[in-house]
Structures are given as structure tokens and as C-alpha cells.
Structure 1
Amino acid sequence: MTLASDLARLWRARGFRRLTLSRLLSQAGDGMFQVGIATAFFFDPTQAASPSEIAIGFAVLLTPFTLVGPFVGPLIDRWQRQRILLVGNLVRVALAGTILAVLAFDGPLWSLYALALLTLSVNRFLLAAMSAGLANVVPRHELLAANAIMPTLGTIAAAAGAAIGGVVTFVVPTASDSSLALATLMSAMGAFAASSWAATLLGRRELGPTRPLAALRLGAQVRELGRELASGVIYLHRRVTPFQALAVMAAQRLLYGVMFVASILMSRYLLGDPAHPEDSLGEFSLVLAFAAAGFGLAAVVTPWLGPRVGRHRWIVACLVLGAGGQAMLAASSSRWALLAAAVVISLAVQGAKIAVDTIVQRDTADEFRGRAFTLYDMAYNVAFVASAAVAAAVLPATGYSAGVMAGVAVAYLVVAAVYARAPREPSPVA
């Protein structure tokens, strides 16, 4: 099977087609938004000069998603997910419009921070709802292919949206930062509105939950959120396979994050000229391009090879592959080693992630699926912030240490050995 044939087959399913359209528009708008406001104006970890500054940048960028996370899952299991997509994108239109007004009237900087971070947090809410609803619009045997294709298309859409912001900057190089932000924000608002419209093409109950939790008054609902999220953790733990898959994903994300921080610093101090940060950004962009190739390869290879070897074995194989990629960096700090490692490790991380998504969707009951993917997002972001903190503690200023790279490679193998012994079938839960 190929990516094209998998997409052609899945595209015949009306629900998948319409959900994908909504996601593409939503993530394209998010790419425009991040270029226009969140990254360009407020925080850009790739421009930081030390491991500790990078750690702070990622903490600022990702902590809001983690704080919002606990309130998301129970709502995804309580509210119709199609309505979440519809209303959530309209909320983002309103937030982006408010940012436009604040920029136009030269409002306080703290309000721009708050509005931008809130908009990014709503995006995580929408992505979690889409992931939870995907299993309702494709057959179970097609979940692996769908999980490979939809995030890949979403990433492409986000990159396309970011490219539109870049084109605006290139075409109007003499414009002020505020004018460029206004232009890209207006484009993002159009994409958010279009995504909301695309959500109306889906049936109100088409994305689930099939048995939504009972509606409560606001006060009672807030009190129940913590209890429901805790029940989700208990359910996943008793179900075994989705809980362990989430643990593997978090561990792999943490290890990948250390390499990501190292690649930022290596691009700046070893491959580029420290006196010219703009050159180091070009080097890091090259690393990202090779990493994107690895993500693309994962989307092609995983649907073909994953079912043949089994999802469990495929995750173990990806962890071993990640160790091999990390070993390249332990052997050399040259450009070829960093670029080769970027491809191999990104392939390993994304390949395992696709299988983890499928396990969580397949082995989690629909009424718990929203909470499962909220916990997924929380673990994903906490692991990445933790990886930046670990990198700040163990990496030198240049970002390269052969000992640290070798240690990360060994850690990949340890995680692979532990997960190889994990159960492959979920435990029944009443």
C-alpha cells in the first residue's frame, strides 16, 4: 500500500473526507496565526542562545496547552465533537479579531500574550476532539492508515499556512511588523471560519460521543471535571494497552526533545556562525526539512509495514531505529550526522506515534476516548517541556556532547526492552 492509495481509499468515506477538510482548514489557519503573532512576536525558542533560554521558551509555548488539557477531555466526552469543531473555530475567529483590535489600538503587551496563548490552547482542544472523533468515521481496520494520513495532511496544511505568512513577509518586506501581523491574522481568521463551515457538513452526532455524558449545570460540571479525568486515568490503566502506549509515547517524546534542543544549539554554534543568528536559523531550517522528510516516510511506511509486523512490534522497532539514529550523533557532530539523524529519528518518532494513536483509539471505549486524547496531549507537552529542562541540565552551550547522545541512544533501547515485554491485548473492563 502507498500513501496515495490509502488516501484514495479513505477519501471515499464521507465522514473522513469532511473531517479532514475541517482539519486542513483549521491547521492552515493555525500556521498563519503562529507566523503572524505567536512565534514572530512573542516567543521563538529557535532564536534562544542557551539551553536554559530554550527551555524557558518551550515552557511558555506549551504550558498553556497542558493547563487547559485537564478541562478538555471530559468536555469532549460530554459535548458533541462536531459542535466543538464548529464553535471552537468561531471562538478562534473572535480571539483573532480581538488581537487585531488590540494591535490596531496599541493595547498592552500582556493582553496580546494572553489572547495568543488562549488561541493556541483552543487549537489543542480542537485537535483532541478530531482525534477522538476519527474512530467514528473510519472502520477499525483502517485506523492505522487514517492516523498516518490525517496528521500528515494537517502538518502539511499548517506548513502551507505558515508559508502564506512567509510569502506576505517576502512580498511586503518594507511593511511594519504590526502590518504584517494584521495581514496574516486576517488570513487566519478566514481559515478558522472556513473550518467552522466545514464542520457543518458533518452530522451533529457523527463524531460521537455515541453515549455522551449527561449535561450538568456549570458549577456541578466544573466540580466533575477532575473526577472524570481521574476516572479516565483509572480506565486506561485497567485497560493496560492504551496506558502503556501513552507512556511509551511520552518517553519517546522526551528523548526526541533532547535531540531537538541539541539540534537548535548545534545549528547555531557548530554549523552556523554564532555572530549571525540569521545564518543559524537557515541551518536549523535545513534540519527541520530533513526531519519533515522523516515524518513523511513514516506516513508512507507505517500503514504498509505496521500491520504486517503488528503495532506492538512496530513501536519496539521504531524505538530501536531511534537508538540507531541517536548513535549517529554520538559518533559525529558534523552536518551529515545531524541531518541523517534528523531523518531517522523523526521517522522512528512519527512511526511509533501513528501506532500509539491507533492503539489508543482501538482499545479505548468511545465514552472515554476524549479523556484519553486529552491525557495524550498533556503527556506529549509535559514530556517535551521536561526534555527541554533535561537538555538545559546536561547539554553544553554548543548543544553537542557525545556522551549525552550515547546516553539518549541507550535510553531508547531501555524503553524498547521494557515495552517489548508489555501485553499486546487490552484487559476487559466492565
Structure 2
Amino acid sequence: MTPVTVASELAQLLRLERFRRLFTVRVVSQSADGLFQVGLATLFFFSPERQTSAGQVAVAFAVLLAPFTIVGPWAGVLLDRWRRRQVLVVANVVRAVVCGAIVVVMVATPPGEPLGASVYVLALATLSVNRFLLSALSAGLPRVVAGPLLLTANSLTPTLGAVAAGVGAAGGLVLGLALPEGRATDAGSVAVSAVAMAVAAALALRLRADELGPERGAVGAPAGVQLRRVGRDLADGARHLADRRTPGQALLAMALGRFLFGLALVASILVSRQILADPADTTAGLSTFALVAAVTGVGFGLAVVLTPVLSPAIGPQRWIAACLGLGAVAQVLLVPEPTLVLVCAAGGLLGLSSQAAKIAVDTVVHRDTADEFRGRAFALYDVLYNAALMGAAALAALLLPDDGHAPALMVAVGVAYAVGAVLMATRAAREAH
């Protein structure tokens, strides 16, 4: 598969009206995510009143991710029963309303006073709904794209969605520079993100109510009946993935990569604030981390170019193994004393490694999971995705110093990447059962 072929298939995808409509919803939704997350990053990690430590970063990750990790499977069962187009509309409306409430709390809190627990609760609600929304987008993709174009669609939509989130984050940073320092900066980014979420809800209405499926399931069944079936259906979904082998193994590889990526992410937050910038200058720390994140985004972009060419040539399982191997190489750069060049280079390689592997995992799960289980599959995907990051943050709190530089830990992470690569290359199934 040559780059010319990839470009041709991308052009074919963009000519598909139903794909364009779903893709537009994703791009606008994830742009809003970027804006929202910049506000949270500033508030939780780079605000002047906070002296960020590894433990505080871990607490922030736990507060933001733990509830969704717990409720995710329940959402997956409902995704196999509710019309996914309706999920896109309602989820974006809910996110817009909750973001508006966060803005009200920020503006109403007097300067210098800490924000109450309500902001954490509201942020949790927004990010939880966001994961639910992304699961619906992924589960609906095979309903608007079929055949060999699905691999290109899997490469295009998540990666350009991540690029859209990066653009939104960059817009949030620019907005922060234009606004006076303080709560107005955070509130401004969150307010604009609420508007973008409302626009995404309106764009989702261009899809027909039943266009994204599910094909079968108890759509419209009473909520009580649906919830009583959750445990049984979730167990059935997990057994289906395990029995098929390839999607279950792909999800485990994704979880390993995400866990190891999470350790590097926490370290980069701390290094950006404590070593690469003056710890007292939170604006400089945020700008440094934004640069590292931007280079990581470039790695995401390279993944969309390389994966459709190399994954079909060697097979998705071997491609996932190669990506884990690249992660091991990236970790070597984090062992010496941190410099901006080394941290950015590691970020770019880890961005390429993690996103390229994710594209291949998405493809395997889409291809080898029956439609009636697909919602549960991607809800489990998100649970593993978030639980791995939360576990990484917890381990980082125990093992990372407050400046984020731990050579021995980075060596251990590199070894874990390498072991995962070897196992995926030599032991993983190549075809579903």
C-alpha cells in the first residue's frame, strides 16, 4: 500500500457524505475537548496557588478518571441498545451545560480562594461523558464506512480527532495569552469549549436517528430492564473478545502501552514545571509542557501517514509490536539529565508509538468484533485506557520524585515496552477464532 494509494483512499472517504458528517462531529467535539483540557491543565497542574508534586498529579488523574473507569461498562451496554446518533447529540448537550456550570463556579469564586470540590465533580462529569461520546463515535464508524476503506477510516478519524484536540488546546493557550492572568483565563477556555460542544450536538443532527446503529438490541427497552442486563451482557462481551482472541489481545497490548505512556506523561508534567522552567513561573511551565505536547501531536500526525502503509504490509499485530519497540527507544532519551530537546524528542517518538499502535488496535477490534458487541468492546476499551493511565499516575506518585526525573524508572519502563513488543511479535494470534 503506497502513499499514493493512501491519499486516494482518503479522498474516497471524504467523498462519502455519511462519513463526512460523522467525522465533522468528531473533529468539532475533540476541538472542544482540547479547549476544555487546557483550562483543566492550568487549573490542576499549573495554577500559581499549586506547588505540583507527583502525588498531587496522581490525585488529579484519579479524580478525573476513576468514576468513568467504574461506570464505563454500564455505558457500553447502553451503547448497544441506544441509537448512537442520539448519544452524540445528548452527550454534547450535557457537556455544554456542565461546562457552563464550571464557568459559573470559576467566575463566582473570589480571586485567591481555592475552588471547591464542585469543580472536580463537574470536570469528572464532563470527561466521563466525553469518553462515552468517543465510544459512540468509534462504534458507529463501521456503519458509514465498509470494506478496505475501514483501515484508512480508523487511521484518519482518531488521529485527526487528536490533531483537532491539539488545535483546540493551542487555541486555548492563545486565548489564555490574550486574557488577564487568573481565573478568567481558565474560564475563557472552558466557556468557548461549551460553545463548540453545542455546535457538535447540532452537527450530529444531520445524521439520521438510526444511521449509526446498533443493528440489534433492546433499543427503547425500559431503563430498569437494561440495567439488570448489564452484568450478564458485560460478561458476554468480555467472553466474546477473549474467544475471538485477536481483539482481546489487542486491548491488552493497548492497556500496556497506555500504562507506560502514562508514566512518561506524569514525568513530563513535573519536569516541565520543576526542571525545564522556573518552578515559580507557572506560565513558563505551562508553555514548556505545551511545546512537549505539540511535538507529541506531531508524532500522532506521523502515525496516520505510516500506519496505513506499514500495518497492512506486516500485519497489525506485528505493527503493534513495532510500536511498542519504538516506545522502548523513546524511553532511553528520558534516562539522562532532562533537556528540552531530549524531552521533546521522546514525546514525539512516544506520540508516534502510542497513536500508531492505537490505530492498529482500533482496526483489529472493529474488524473482529461482531456489531452487537461493538459498543461494549469500545466501552471496555475506554475503561482499560483510563484505568491504565490512572494506574500509571498512582505508580508515579510512589516512584517519581517531585521534579519527575527518575533514570532507574525510565529504564524499567523501557524494558517493559521491549518485553511487550517481543510477546506481541511472537505470541499474539494473527486471525480471529
Normalising by structure 2, we get a TM-score of: 0.90
Structure 1 residue 229 corresponds to structure 2 residue 234: yes
Aligned position for 1:7: 10
- AA at the equivalent of 1:216: A
Partner of 1:404: 409
Q: Secondary structure at the match of 1:419?
A: helix
- Structure-to-structure mapping, 1:117-128, within 5 angstroms: 117-128=124-135
Find the residue that maps to 1:330 and give its secondary structure: coil
User: C-alpha distance in 2, partners of 1:398/1:312?
Assistant: 36
Q: Does 1:115 align with 2:122?
A: yes
Q: Is the 8 Å Cα contact of residues 25 and 200 (structure 2) preserved in structure 1? A: yes
Q: CA deviation at 1:40?
A: 4.0
Residues 268, 343 of structure 2: 8 Å contact kept? yes
Q: 1:342 to 1:48 in 2, by over 3 A?
A: farther
Q: Quick one: distance in 1 between partners of 2:8 and 2:337?
A: 39
CA distance in 2, matches of 1:331, 1:170: 33
Deviations 1:377-413 (A, max 9, x none): 0000100111111222222333223222221111111
How many residues in Structure 1 have an aligned counterpart in Structure 2?
A: 423
3-state SS of paired residue (1:316): helix
Indicate whether 1:172 and 2:179 are aligned: yes
Q: Specify the alignment match of 1:426 in structure 2.
A: 432
- Please tell me whether residue 274 in structure 1 is matched to residue 274 in structure 2: no
Q: How does 1:12-411 map to 2 (within 5 A)?
A: 12-36=15-39, 38-41=40-43, 43-44=44-45, 49-100=52-103, 109-173=116-180, 177-178=183-184, 180=185, 183-330=188-335, 333-411=338-416
SS class of match (1:78): coil
Q: Per the alignment, do residues 165 and 339 of structure 1 end up closer, same or farther by CA in structure 2, a change over 3 Å counting?
A: closer
Percent same amino acid at aligned positions?
Answer: 47
Alignment check: 8 A CA contact 1:80 1:212 kept: no
* Shift of residue 12, structure 1, vs aligned partner: 1.1
Shift of 1:184: 4.1
* Aligned CA distance change for structure 1 residues 397 and 40 (closer, same or farther; 3 Å): closer
User: How much does 1:374 deviate?
Assistant: 0.4
The separation in 1 between residues aligned to 2:187 and 2:330, in whole angstroms, is 42
The letter for the 1-side match of 2:154 is N
Q: Distance in 1 between matches of 2:269 and 2:109?
A: 33
Residues 311, 319 of structure 2: 8 Å contact kept: yes
What 5-or-longer segments of structure 2 have no aligned partner?
none
1:210-263 deviations in Å (ceiling 9; x for gaps): 113354322222221222112111111111111110000000111111112222
Matched residue of 2:217: which SS?
coil
Q: Describe the superposition over 1:316-360 as per-residue Cα deviations: whole angstroms up to 9, x where unpaired.
A: 111111111212333554443322222112211111111001101
Amino acid at match of 2:162: T
Moved more, 378-387 or 416-425: 416-425
Distance 2:301 2:25 in 1: 21
Offset, 1:105: 6.1
276-285 or 358-367: bigger deviation: 276-285
Q: From the superposition, tell whether residues 26 and 283 of structure 1 become closer, same or farther in structure 2 (CA, over 3 Å).
A: closer
Q: 1:120 to 1:148 in 2, by over 3 A?
A: same
Instruction: Report the Cα distance in structure 2 between the residues aligned to 1:240 and 1:327, rounded to whole angstroms.
Output: 32
- TM-score scaled to structure 1, two decimals? 0.90
Q: 1:167 to 1:269 in 2, by over 3 A?
A: closer
CA deviation vs aligned residue, 1:35-61 (integer Å, no higher than 9, x gap): 45x4444x2379753222221121112
| Range with bigger deviation, 356-365 or 406-415 | 406-415
Unaligned runs of 5+ in 1: none
CA distance in 2, matches of 1:331, 1:99: 41
Secondary structure, aligned partner of 2:259: helix
Structure 1 residues 138-197: Cα deviation after superposition (integer angstroms, max 9, x where no partner): 1231222212211222223223333343343333327x625x556544433332222122
CA contact (8 A) 1:78 1:214 kept: yes
Inter-partner Cα distance in structure 2 for 1:244 and 1:388: 24
What CA distance in whole angstroms lies between the structure 2 residues aligned with 1:86 and 1:279?
38
Q: Which amino acid in structure 1 is aligned with residue 123 of structure 2?
A: A
In structure 1, what is the Cα distance between the partners aligned to 2:405 and 2:390? 19
Q: Distance in 2 between matches of 1:400 and 1:98?
A: 37
Contact residue 300 and residue 355 of structure 2 kept, 8 A? yes
1:78-120 Cα offsets, whole Å, 9 max, x none, are: 0111111122222223333444555666699343432332122
Give CA-to-partner distance per residue, 1:285-333, whole Å, 9 cap, x none: 2222221111111111111211111111111111111111212333554
Instruction: Give the superposed CA RMSD.
Output: 2.5
| 3-state SS in 2 of match to 1:313 | helix
| 1:372, distance to aligned residue in structure 2 (A) | 0.4
